[in-house]
Chains A and B, each alone.
Chain A
Amino acid sequence: MMELLMNYFSYPFVRYAFIVGVLIALCSSLLGVILVLKRFSYIGDGLSHVAFGAMAVSMVLGIVQQKMFVIMPITVIVAVLLLRHSSDSRLSGDSKIAMISVGSLAIGYLLMNTFNTSANISADVCTTLFGSTSILTLSIEEVWLCIILSLAVIGIFVFLYHQIFAITFDEDFAKATGLKTEFYNFLIAVIMAVIIVMAMNLVGSLLISALLIFPAISAMQVCKSFKMVTIVSALISVICAVAGLLFSILGATPVGSTIVATDIIAFLIMFIYGRMRK
């Protein structure tokens, strides 16, 4: 089996897939801790559907090569708007997210169907939603973009760790003691959009929330402190991503769903372990 793996690793696209997979798993698990604790899980889910809608727009415009320039700005704007108005508004937060989420999904599919530019529409939709093969077709430019963005995200988490904790635990207190909470919320929204768009390549837009939520929840089953939750969540996510990728290569299974399946197994293990310790 080792030999088979070595053989696979001699292909650049397999190496790219591992680099990108590990980085995205790491970033999304860090962000996931914030989202889960701030009760924002559904915003991540909604945004991934917005990214799908934006992807459809770029396909219709016939600029699939430069799709990032369409998807990234749209997702960032929606993320900023959603976080800004999550607390005070006539429409309650979760119904607004549900509307945007299902709306973008529907409009996206409608656009792709009406302005059909490719021969195999259902394969296109399937790829965008479940990311079936896109991680194995990455170009070297995409890999570099992913590396740079991931390093930026990780850097922000390391440098602003205490601010992020203060905002996640108690936004009012943080604001009352002089922290610029609007700025940090804006930053979180931008990071969220960036990670979601990157993760679309790995698991597809439907499974992004799994990558965000599962490692964080798994870590929370056993960890007592915020620091440990963050570290364990990152570890679980990276291990699951590597295991999922290996399994999907050896077993010829779809990459995204295989990674999520290993995340589910990790959650079950942590859940049972957490219960047994009590």
Chain B
Amino acid sequence: MALITCENVSLGYEGTAIVENLNFTVNKNDYLCIIGENGSGKTTLMKSMLGLMKPMSGKILFSDGLKQNEIGYLPQQTMVQKDFPASAYEVVLSGCINHLGFHMHYAKKEKKKVISAMKKLNIWDLKDKSYRTLSGGQQQRVLLARALCATETLLVLDEPVTGLDFETTKQMYQLIDSLHKSGITIIMISHDPEATRKYATKILFLDHEIAFCDADEYFGRKS
């Protein structure tokens, strides 16, 4: 079943296209890695899927009950966040913002979601710690837990291991893999060929030539 379909999408800024005539589908339970050089339009594509900017032409369609505001998103960290005075719990809770509506407080259901996401990612004991005092890996896990609160179907990750050391990187990939195995569809921008080779089931290669295919085909593996 297709979750997201891109039809003839062109992306760019101020009239100049970076990517043209992009066609691909993301199916339920895919692990799609978007790869390509810097400036090839990976992040722009991701922002368009998230509704942060409009494609210049073409359509990005959501189906199978997926709403645009139900995409869990793990952005690259900004400088502002790195020393933001908020507890880990507050940050994860903000992932439920799409369920808040016009209420003043989060309901029990949301709070349970936060607890389960934090326990799943092994950060429940950090809940009262200030976000700015956490290590890079812990911060990434807090942001991942926040993304999990926003979705049960699709996670979009923008280079989730940037700035992490070898061991933490491995743990992060294992975490994402276990989420994928539990039935969550993954779309990841990746600069890491090894991890792409190991985990991806689909590849979208953005460059002068656009390639979209099964990972097995891309890496010349027999399925």
Contacts and interface: CB of A to CB of B under 8 A. Distances in A.
B195 to A, nearest CB: 23
Interface in B103-154: 104-106, 128-130, 133, 146, 150
Contact of B90 (A173, A174, A226): A226
Contact of A170 (B69, B75, B98, B105): B75
Given A39-B80, A165-B90, A177 B100 contact: no
Contacts of B57: none
Interface in A135-175: 158-159, 161-163, 165-166, 169-170, 172-175
B135 to A, nearest CB: 16
A37 B80 CA distance: 7
A177 B150 contact: yes
A177 B73 contact: yes
Interface of B: 47, 50-52, 67-71, 73, 75, 78, 80-81, 84-87, 89-91, 93-95, 97-98, 100, 104-106, 128-130, 133, 146, 150
- What is the size category of the interface that chain A forms with chain B? 20 to 34
A231 interface: no
Interface stretch (A21-29, A67-75, A117-125, A217-225): A217-225
Contacts of A179: 97-98
A162 B149 CA distance: 15
A38 interface: yes
Contact of A172 (B75, B95, B129): B75
Contacts of A170: 75, 78, 81, 94
B9 to A, nearest CB: 18
A169 B69 contact: no
Contacts of A169: 81, 84, 86, 91, 94
The 3 closest A-B pairs by CB, nearest first: A178-B69, A224-B130, A225-B87
5 contacts: A159-B104, A172-B73, A177-B71, A177-B73, A178-B68
A229 interface: yes
B86 A165 contact: yes
Contacts of A38: 80
Given A37-B84, A162-B100, A224-B130, 11 more contacts: A159-B104, A162-B93, A162-B94, A162-B105, A173-B150, A174-B94, A177-B97, A177-B98, A178-B68, A226-B85, A226-B86
Contacts of B97: 162-163, 166, 174, 177-179
A39 B106 CA distance: 28
B68 A226 contact: no
Nearest to A226: B86
B109 to A, nearest CB: 15
Contacts of B67: 178
A170 B84 CA distance: 10
A176 B128 contact: no
A15 interface: no
A226 B75 CA distance: 20
A177 B69 contact: yes
A84 interface: no
A38 B146 CA distance: 20
A168 to B, nearest CB: 8
A176 B90 contact: no
Contacts of B70: 177
